[in-house]
Amino acid sequence: MKMQNKNPRIEGLSPTEIQEINAEMSHYEDKTAVSIEALKIVQKHRGWVSDDCLVAVAGFLDMAPAQLEGIATFYNLIYRRPVGKTVIHYCNSVTCWMMGSEQIREHLCRRLNVALGEMSEDGEYTILPIVCLGACDHAPVAMVGDELKLDLTENAVNEFLGR
Amino acid sequence: MEKPLTKNIQPDRAFATLADYESTGGYLGMRKAITDLQPKEVQQWVKDAGLRGRGGAGFSTGLKWSLVPMDADAPQVRYLVVNADEMEPGTFKDRLLLEKDPHQLIEGIIIAAYAIQATMAYIFLRGEYHLAAQRLAYALLEARSKGYLGKHVLDSGFSLEIVLHTSAGRYICGEETALLNALEGKRATPRAKPPFPLISGLWGKPTVVNNVETLCNVPHILQYGVEWYQGLARCVDKGTKLFGASGRVKYPGLWELPMGTSIREIIEEHAGGMRDGYKLRGFLPGGASTDFLLPEHLDVGMEFDAIAKAGSRMGTGNIIVLDDKTCPVQMVLNLEQFFAQESCGWCTPCRDGLPWTVTLLKDIIAGKGRLEDLDRLAGLTRMLGPGNTFCALAPGAMEPLQSALKYFREDFERYIVGHYDEVGVV
């Protein structure tokens, strides 16, 4: 039961990150089980998961970097490229699509002058598609940062963008 | 009409705290189970009540619990896992239960864990459900402070820890064995079955995976009894359920109604019928992976077998309405793009068949299709159908396609024949 890790490669992680990852480890049978949590923790502090961070986390969890990369690229909410301070996830699943999500996407991209996945010039925003956000009775919807925005219209978009 | 699942959801408060929850009889079902009943008796109650899984598959919950090996020589570590990875397009029922009444789920978890004698439970929550995560974390602290979690629940010999795990997002995590891989920190590919998770699940230990809404039913069965629960329904299936409707209806929403409620009542009465200027063309009765049904099926009741007989599945019971101004071919393309994107890529029919399906549909819509493409699509619905893949993702993806080919064939043909007209082939 070697949970605390003294691998030299952990130098890429901050003390806070290491503390948070260790706290997660207590909930699981083995330390590789926290790989996804660990990536999320790093991303929470740094905005995205760089190659260096990925190698550092893999080293900390005694995993091969390639194995962790396979996990990092599998999940929709792990970013392997830099993103804006706020990520706007607009829902493109069936009900939102029927209720006008394409127009919302076009409006968002035009307003921020970005294509999907790009960072806005001021580094504030990235727009990404996301699957059904479980609010179909208020379609179309989007998640702005952690916050769900319902019944979207172009005006509502202007309002939360403040521009 | 009794509404046990939503009785604590009130417009004048954000969510039900522990005090709110206990003021309407909350945690009495748990007390009864742990104080008065043996684990096997709890299993029997839930089996007799007729509760069937609300995640879509509809398997008997009590029967599932009773299949967990619990003899003296069986593995002594067992897990309960809550599938809170709601991501079926068109489905928005579990989010309500999680955000508005988290203690109802926690009580259901405690009773279920007691029934299978699991001392560890994981809630596998969608990463995007931030508000639900906050409310659950708060409710777990409240429950712990009352001695409902931790060592010696209610001073009994039963102990339980609940861990809240938030996912990093992928539809396939809703498949129970893929979910277990995700919990173990791996890519969420499904596992070959058998062995089933009941025998060898999380870290190789017997594991029960139950949906959020399923577990929310359990406290009420224990508190009010089997007969009361059976009396809630209007059909052979028992209890109430959260039914929903989205799309161009007047009042999209979610309602707790008896099992067996007709689709007509849900769409016309509760959702107020179609918006002005729109007609009902068809609907998916229970999420993206269910077959289309037509207005002629409106009088079918929301019960597992009746909907199967009509040619679809009840799925999650959240109806997606197709109106007469939305093109069914483009709607199917949207659905197939979703499934193609969310395929985990583990088995070939799904990994390659779904992008092929998308390409064919895009070509048809772009006017580059041929009539043979419709046969090719029909062939794909068989190749990706049940029995050829490790999990239900691809067969589920084929359900709206195969029924669209059956009911809306002229819409497909119009794209193809229209193009032939243009280039003078016809």
Q: What is the CATH number of the domain that holds A101?
A: 3.40.30.10
pLDDT at A84 over 70: yes
| Distance, CA of B91 to CA of B127 (rounded, Å) | 16
| Distance, CA of B33 to CA of B22 (rounded, Å) | 16
If asked whether residues A94 and A152 sit together in one domain, one would say: yes
Closest CA to B266 of B228, B236, B293: B293
If asked whether residues A137 and A114 sit together in one domain, one would say: yes
Which pLDDT score is estimated for B222?
Answer: 98
Decide: B197 and B207 in contact? Cβ < 8 Å: yes
Query: Using a CB-CB distance cutoff of 8 angstroms, which residues of chain A are in contact with residue B90?
Result: 93-95, 132, 136
Residue reference for tokens 């009900």:
A95
Which pLDDT score is estimated for A8?
Answer: 44
If asked whether residues A52 and A104 sit together in one domain, one would say: no
Q: What is the mean pLDDT of residues B332-348?
A: 97
Q: What is the mean pLDDT of residues A111-122?
A: 96
Domain end marker among A74, A94, A109: A74
ipTM of the complex: 0.95
Q: pLDDT grade, residue B303 (50/70/90)?
A: very high
pLDDT at A2 over 70: no
Decide: B201 and B211 in contact? Cβ < 8 Å: no
A135 touches chain B (CB under 8 A): yes
If asked whether residues A67 and A94 sit together in one domain, one would say: no
- Chain B from 319 to 338: CB within 8 A of any A CB: 320, 323, 326, 331, 334-335, 338
Report the residue from B129, B168, B254 with minimal CB separation from A36.
B168
In a domain, A8, yes or no: no
Q: Nearest C-alpha of chain A: how many angstroms from B48?
A: 32
pLDDT at B97 over 50: yes
pTM equals 0.95
Which pLDDT score is estimated for A1?
Answer: 42
Q: What is the mean pLDDT of residues B238-260?
A: 98
B272 touches chain A (CB under 8 A): no
A143 touches chain B (CB under 8 A): yes
Query: Using a CB-CB distance cutoff of 8 angstroms, which residues of chain B are in contact with residue A78?
Result: 168
Report the residue from B129, B244, B342 with minimal CB separation from A137.
B244
In a domain, A91, yes or no: yes
Task: Report CB contact under 8 Å: A137, B288.
Answer: no
In a domain, A81, yes or no: no
Decide: A92 and A105 in contact? Cβ < 8 Å: yes
Q: What is the mean pLDDT of residues B336-357?
A: 97
Task: Report CB contact under 8 Å: A75, B167.
Answer: yes
A70 touches chain B (CB under 8 A): yes
Query: Using a CB-CB distance cutoff of 8 angstroms, which residues of chain B are in contact with residue A99?
Result: 247-248
Task: Report CB contact under 8 Å: B128, A35.
Answer: no
B213 touches chain A (CB under 8 A): no
pLDDT at B99 over 80: yes
In a domain, A110, yes or no: yes
pLDDT at B65 over 60: yes
Q: What is the mean pLDDT of residues A60-81?
A: 97
If asked whether residues A104 and A157 sit together in one domain, one would say: yes
If asked whether residues A65 and A101 sit together in one domain, one would say: no
User: pLDDT per residue over B21-59, tens digit each?
Assistant: 999 999 999 999 999 999 999 999 999 999 999 998 899
Angle between helix axes B393-407 and B409-423 (nearest 10 degrees) is 70
**B422 or B280, greater pLDDT:** B280
Which pLDDT score is estimated for A163?
Answer: 75
Domain end marker among A23, A53, A74: A74
Which pLDDT score is estimated for A10?
Answer: 52
pLDDT at B361 over 60: yes
Which pLDDT score is estimated for B426?
Answer: 38
User: pLDDT per residue over B120-145, tens digit each?
Assistant: 999 999 999 999 999 999 999 999 99
Domain end marker among A74, A94, A113: A74
What is the sign, positive or negative, of the torsion defined by CA atoms of B297, B302, B308, B312? positive
If asked whether residues A68 and A96 sit together in one domain, one would say: no
Percent with pLDDT over 70 in chain B: 98
Task: Report CB contact under 8 Å: B168, A75.
Answer: yes
Percent with pLDDT over 90 in chain B: 96
pLDDT at B186 over 90: yes
Q: Give me B420's structure tokens.
A: 């032939």
Spell out the domains of chain B, with CATH numbers in brackets: 18-230 (3.40.50.11540), 241-321 (3.10.20.600), 328-417 (1.20.1440.230)
Domain tally, chain A: 2
Report the residue from A27, A71, A76 with minimal CB separation from B186.
A71
Strand, coil or helix: B287? strand
Task: Report CB contact under 8 Å: A147, B320.
Answer: no
If asked whether residues A67 and A104 sit together in one domain, one would say: no
Mutate to test the interface with B, among A74, A130, A143 (most CBs of B within 10 A): A74
Query: Using a CB-CB distance cutoff of 8 angstroms, which residues of chain B are in contact with residue A146?
Result: 130
CATH number of the domain within which A24 lies: 1.10.10
Which pLDDT score is estimated for B418?
Answer: 80
Q: Nearest C-alpha of chain A: how many angstroms from B24?
A: 27
User: pLDDT per residue over A13-28, tens digit each?
Assistant: 999 999 999 999 999 9
Query: Using a CB-CB distance cutoff of 8 angstroms, which residues of chain B are in contact with residue A135?
Result: 92, 95
In a domain, A3, yes or no: no
In a domain, A10, yes or no: no
User: pLDDT per residue over B148-159, tens digit each?
Assistant: 999 999 999 999
pLDDT at B420 over 60: no
Which pLDDT score is estimated for B425?
Answer: 44
Q: Nearest C-alpha of chain B: how many angstroms from A113?
A: 25
Give me the helices (H) in chain A, please: 15-25, 35-46, 51-60, 65-72, 94-98, 101-112, 154-161
If asked whether residues A94 and A127 sit together in one domain, one would say: yes
Q: What is the mean pLDDT of residues B228-242?
A: 95
If asked whether residues A66 and A30 sit together in one domain, one would say: yes
Task: Report CB contact under 8 Å: A99, B86.
Answer: no
Q: What is the mean pLDDT of residues B201-205?
A: 97
Decide: A32 and B185 in contact? Cβ < 8 Å: yes
Strand partners, B84: B125
| Distance, CA of A91 to CA of A140 (rounded, Å) | 7
pLDDT at A106 over 80: yes
Mutate to test the interface with A, among B124, B175, B186, B319 (most CBs of A within 10 A): B186
As a residue count, chain B comes to: 426
Q: Nearest C-alpha of chain A: how many angstroms from B88?
A: 7
Q: Give me B79's structure tokens.
A: 């897990």
> How many Cα neighbours within 13 Å face the side chain of A24?
24
In a domain, A101, yes or no: yes
If asked whether residues A45 and A103 sit together in one domain, one would say: no
Which pLDDT score is estimated for B419?
Answer: 58
If asked whether residues A148 and A93 sit together in one domain, one would say: yes
Domain containing A45 equals 15-74
pLDDT at B305 over 70: yes
A27 touches chain B (CB under 8 A): yes
In a domain, A154, yes or no: yes
Q: What is the mean pLDDT of chain B?
A: 96
| Distance, CA of B233 to CA of B239 (rounded, Å) | 5
Q: pLDDT grade, residue B74 (50/70/90)?
A: confident
Which pLDDT score is estimated for B1?
Answer: 81
Query: Using a CB-CB distance cutoff of 8 angstroms, which residues of chain B are in contact with residue A77?
Result: 127-128, 167-169
Q: What is the mean pLDDT of residues A114-129?
A: 97
